């Protein structure tokens, strides 16, 4: 795909699936994304005291991560949910409102490659199943580094490379044969699901992505596989 067309395609895909995004993640992960997001927030371990702590959740979509964070943290643990898609943000607003967390979670429309915030604005940065959809991953990582305070934490949850024999074959079959068919049944269109499966396969494997995080300036970079590498949590610090 020509580079100049990538962002437009991503925007169209997520505008089309916004109302069914959580269903989409259930189809793609067999429901495991909910446990993986719980794991992401447990890794972040937001402070439960009254100490102010500010998170930016990029590509925050329907608010799954931001809501989990606000419920886990103390009264001054606040979050900005930033997403490029106004349709996704609208779904997120409704979910945050239903959770009565409007005073803790605010919204901003913005591109992960050019975040609309000053440098050193946040104590932590999370991105779940979003970084593989940006056009320039290196620019998104540079922006994460820029907006984090010194001592800030970077956490990325993303589909990754399966490293368990047999599971990798089963996962390929599920991805390329089952998911598009389920997507067609659930949403009447398999094209967005085919794109999302293909975007997973094009995303760098765990070690290569860790090297990209280090190249952006982060230190203490590590990753932990989930469910045999179907997904992974990458962690890093701005020191």
pLDDT > 90: percent of the chain: 66
* pLDDT of 190 over the 80 cut: no
User: What per-residue confidence (pLDDT) applies to 6?
Assistant: 65
pLDDT of residue 127: 98
Quick one: pLDDT band at residue 18, thresholds 50, 70, 90?
Answer: low
State mean pLDDT over 76-100: 95
HSE on the CB side for 176, CA within 13 Å? 7
Number of structural domains found in the chain: 1
Average pLDDT (102-128) is 97
Mean pLDDT of all residues in 105-133: 96
What pLDDT shows up at residue 188?
A: 65
Q: Is 23 exposed, middle or buried (0-12, 13-18, 19+ CB in 10 A)?
A: middle
CATH code of the domain in which 221 resides: 3.40.50.150
Handedness of CA 151, 34, 159, 147 (dihedral sign): negative
- Does residue 15 carry a pLDDT above 70? no
Residue 108's alpha-carbon distances to 54, 84, 139, 153, in angstroms, are 14, 8, 19, 20
Mean pLDDT value of segment 49-67: 95
Give the model's pLDDT for residue 61.
84
Please determine, for residue 160, whether its predicted confidence score (pLDDT) is greater than 70.
Answer: yes
Contact 237, 220 (CB under 8 A): yes
Range of the domain at 197: 3-237
- The pLDDT of residue 222 is 98
Residues 6+ positions from 236 with CB-CB distance below 8 Å: 153, 154, 213, 214, 218, 219, 220, 221, 222
DSSP notation for 135-155: S-HHHHHHHHHHHEEEEEEEE
Q: So what's the pLDDT on residue 95?
A: 93
- Which tens digits make up the pLDDT trace of 210-231? 999 999 999 999 999 999 999 9
The percent of residues above 70 in pLDDT, for the chain, comes to 87
pLDDT at 4 (0 to 100): 57
């Amino acid at each position: 795909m020509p580079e100049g067309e990538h962002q437009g395609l991503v925007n169209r895909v997520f505008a089309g699936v916004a109302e069914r995004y959580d269903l989409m993640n259930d189809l793609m992960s067999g429901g495991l994304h909910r446990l993986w997001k719980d794991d992401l927030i447990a890794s972040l371990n937001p402070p439960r005291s009254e100490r102010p702590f500010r998170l930016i959740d990029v590509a925050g979509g329907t608010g799954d991560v931001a809501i989990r964070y606000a419920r886990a943290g103390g009264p001054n643990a606040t979050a900005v949910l930033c997403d490029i898609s106004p349709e996704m943000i609208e779904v997120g607003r409704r979910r945050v409102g239903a959770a009565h967390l409007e005073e803790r979670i605010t919204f901003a429309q913005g591109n992960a490659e050019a975040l609309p915030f000053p440098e050193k604005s946040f104590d932590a940065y999370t991105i779940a199943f979003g970084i593989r959809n940006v056009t320039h991953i290196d620019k998104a990582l540079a922006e994460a580094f820029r907006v984090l305070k010194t001592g800030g934490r970077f956490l990325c949850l993303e589909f990754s490379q399966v490293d368990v024999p047999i599971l990798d074959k089963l996962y390929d079959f599920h991805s390329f044969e089952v998911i598009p068919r389920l997507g067609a049944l659930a949403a009447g269109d398999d094209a967005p699901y085919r794109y999302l499966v293909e975007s997973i396969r094009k995303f760098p494997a765990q070690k290569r992505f860790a090297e990209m995080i280090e190249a952006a300036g982060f230190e203490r970079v590590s990753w932990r596989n989930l469910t045999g590498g179907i997904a992974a949590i990458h962690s890093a610090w701005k020191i």
